[in-house]
């Protein structure tokens, strides 16, 4: 399958997200989790994946298009499966509010002072997925653990996907390596609302920034992973800033285990330059403006 055909298929899959994964729960409403300035909405029709992230009054994910966030796998040919595409079988779910176990029930709102931890086990396609989301006042940390239970060829795995708001208009990223080395790749650029591939690389972190709100999201990976061709992908589109992370997978066999962690930290700064330097520091390095 060509890159163009794959991109068209992925968009069609995301925009066309089929029937609800959890039938009855759709009528019972989403679960809203609040901690400090952060609000997370989990959607039953997307198998309890994240439908909305809100920081104060800023909706970080788009509501202008019906696009899915979660994980997906491209099985050989044009066959797709995903956590939330309608074929996800959701197992046990857990919820902790400030370290206190709380029953998970559709339609409820929970508020914490320090931290919320949501956990879910599910199955889709050839994978069993164990997911955990930690929510704090100004950040979210998400872990995906995949275990392959079926054999057969797999083309691609999208371990994280988010449809970020088109209010974000600038981005920056830094590859793995010595930040003092001018050969360590760095990326900066802008979103213009035109169909374009802005980033396809194995980066340690990336950040997106809204100049009008002086607010940005820095996304930091927990460890360096084997990457096929694309790695972290940022796509510019009119209504959405589309992100997905594509690690390397075993194309045949079974028993594969993969674990990924993504930390998303909210920062308010006076400029995109200050945001980029703060983002690099959070990721354990620094951003020297003298290095081009």
Q: Is the dihedral of CA 46, 48, 50, 51 positive or negative?
A: positive
**Structural domain includes residue 292:** no
* Residue 69, domain extent: 3-282
**Structural domain includes residue 243:** yes
Q: What angle do CA 38, 258, 8 make, to 5 degrees?
A: 75
Confidence at 211, pLDDT banded by 50, 70, 90 = very high
**Structural domain includes residue 288:** no
133: domain CATH number?
A: 2.70.98
Whole-angstrom Cα distance, residue 286 to residue 273? Answer: 12
Contacts 24+ apart (CB under 8 A), 267-271: 267/207, 267/215, 267/216, 267/217, 267/218, 268/214, 268/215, 268/216, 269/214, 269/216, 270/214, 271/214
Specify the number of domains making up the chain: 1
**Structural domain includes residue 210:** yes
**Structural domain includes residue 58:** yes
Whether 4 has a pLDDT exceeding 60, the answer reads no
Q: Give residue-wise pLDDT tens across range 131-161.
A: 999 999 999 999 999 999 888 888 889 999 9
pTM: 0.88
Predicted local distance difference test score (pLDDT) of residue 21: 38
**Neighbouring C-beta atoms of residue 212, cutoff 10 Å:** 8
**Structural domain includes residue 287:** no
**Structural domain includes residue 290:** no
String of DSSP letters for 32-90: EEEETTEEEEEEGGGTTEEEEEEETTEE-B-SSS----EEEEEESTT-EEETTSS--EE
**Structural domain includes residue 256:** yes
- Between residues 210 and 13, which one has the greater pLDDT? 210
**CB-based contact 3:67 (threshold 8 Å):** no
* Secondary structure string (H, E, C) spanning 240-282: CEEEEEEECCCCCCCCCEEEEEEEEEEEECCCHHHHHHHHHHH
């Amino acid at each position: 399958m060509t890159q163009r055909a794959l991109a068209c298929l992925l968009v069609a899959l995301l925009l066309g997200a089929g029937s609800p994964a959890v039938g009855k729960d759709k009528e019972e409403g989403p679960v809203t989790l609040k901690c400090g300035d952060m609000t997370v909405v989990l959607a039953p029709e997307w198998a309890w994946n994240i439908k909305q992230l809100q920081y104060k009054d800023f909706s970080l994910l788009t509501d202008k298009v019906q696009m899915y966030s979660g994980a997906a796998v491209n099985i050989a040919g044009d066959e797709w499966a995903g956590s939330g595409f309608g074929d996800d079988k959701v197992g046990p779910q857990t919820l902790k509010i400030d370290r206190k176990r709380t029953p998970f029930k559709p339609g409820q709102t929970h508020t914490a002072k320090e931290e919320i931890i949501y956990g879910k086990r599910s199955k889709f396609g050839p994978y069993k997925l164990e997911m955990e989301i930690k929510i704090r006042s100004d950040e979210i940390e998400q872990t995906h653990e995949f275990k392959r239970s079926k054999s057969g060829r797999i083309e691609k795995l999208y371990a994280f996907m988010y449809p970020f708001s088109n209010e974000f208009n600038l981005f920056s990223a830094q590859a793995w390596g010595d930040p003092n080395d001018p050969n360590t790749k760095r990326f900066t650029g802008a979103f213009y609302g035109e169909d374009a591939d802005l980033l396809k690389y194995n980066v340690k972190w990336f950040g997106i920034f809204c100049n009008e709100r002086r607010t940005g999201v820095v996304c930091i990976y927990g460890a360096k992973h084997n990457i096929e061709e694309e790695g972290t992908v940022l796509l510019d589109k009119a209504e959405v800033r589309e992100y997905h992370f594509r690690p390397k997978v075993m194309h045949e066999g079974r028993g594969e285990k993969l674990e990924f962690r993504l930390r998303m930290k909210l920062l308010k700064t006076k400029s995109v330059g200050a945001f980029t330097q703060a983002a690099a520091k959070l990721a354990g390095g620094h951003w020297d403006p003298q290095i081009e």
